[in-house]
Structure 1
Amino acid sequence: MADNIARVFADAIATDPTRPLLTWYDDASGDRTELSGATLANWVAKTANLLVDEVGLAPAAPVGVLLPPHWQAAAVLLGCWSAKLNVVDTPGDVDVLFAAVDQLDEAQSWAADERYALGLAPLAAPLRQVPPGFADYVVEVRGHGDHFTPQPGPGPADARLLTRAGARADELGIERGARVLVDATRYPDPIDWLLAPLTRAATVVLCANPDPARLTTRVTTEKITHPLP
């Protein structure tokens, strides 16, 4: 396995960038968003370019992420890791903070130079009202380039995260090339819903508020090979 997350992501999509890599469902809202490896890579590149070119972050700079499991959270996290930034999830001083709009109260305990709010709306719709002190992530990120070349080698936490992810892939029984169904409520840690599958070049169907009545149909229609228990 590669020694850095950006390379693991690139390797996971290299065989067929057009195949669905991350499919998002929210059974409460009815939202479904399907991203191919190429599409997610574009969002990742735009995020990394935002952080490096616009904000001017250097490798190992601290970035806070207050986001639930979601396809946009995958773009933010992978963008940060591609830029070799240090993603933290406990309150403190950071250069940039990404926060879901329903976690803005929690965001007040963070000190950040730049703040981006995410509404996590269907079709990546912009926020109707941008919270004071924040910029709208989906508006700001769209203007950046679709390609980003990561610096070689691992970021500050890549070795630790990839070791954990590989171990979790083994514990969860994720085989190489699997199509994994993940309950976002039961598996909120991105190690489980994002990095562990990527280490096995697996694709993910990530479900928030899953309706048990839809499970059997979803397993069939999405060609699931491995529902997480």
Structure 2
Amino acid sequence: MVLLAVLTLFLGDTAAAQGSVSGDRQALVALYNGTDGENWKTNTNWLSEKPFSEWHGVTTDKNGRVTELALVNNRLKGEIPAELANLTELEELMLNDNGQLTRPLTVSLRGLSHLTRMWLSGTQVCAPRDAAFQAWLATIDFSGVNCPSESVIGKDTKETTGGALPVEAVRRIEALLDEKARRTPARRKMDSRLLDALRKMRGQSAANEMVT
């Protein structure tokens, strides 16, 4: 019974925070701490006890709830925190032109039923391809990019990191090394080992291309 009472109290406090001035403060503090607020271009009154309407870039309604957050080109750096979903009265979110903002948005932002505008162009933030999130995104004024699909990420990884090289590329390298291998005994020995490795990669590449 005691555990149930504690859980009820905790969940009640959490729900209240998500739709209150205190919930707004939690969200703003999380944004400040998560995006290097100390080094923003302008951070006037942030984390102070002054009304949110006096915090740089924040607009509130008559009840003190945050309705607009405009920190355009303000040197935000890092990740937009999930706590931003606590800003349940938010109508406009403008964080564009902060080039060091990164990572996908949290899908919980689609719970912001009053949001009509979200500008994220000029950042490295992307919108998740989650179907429900995309459907919600289509209902607001959004500027930004969608996250790459998994298939695109996989293709890029194979071609640019430790994955298999395209067969034709391996063949061209082999041909070049075959020419150079005729020069000196030491070079022939070194290039022979590299050729063996490349031929193994060619076999892996061919197998991958047959699968795809």
TM-score tier after normalising by the smaller chain length: under 0.3
- So what's the TM-score if we normalise by structure 2? 0.21
Greater relative CO (CA pairs within 8 A, separation 6+): 1
- So what's the TM-score if we normalise by structure 1? 0.20
Structure in which a larger fraction of residues adopt helix:
2
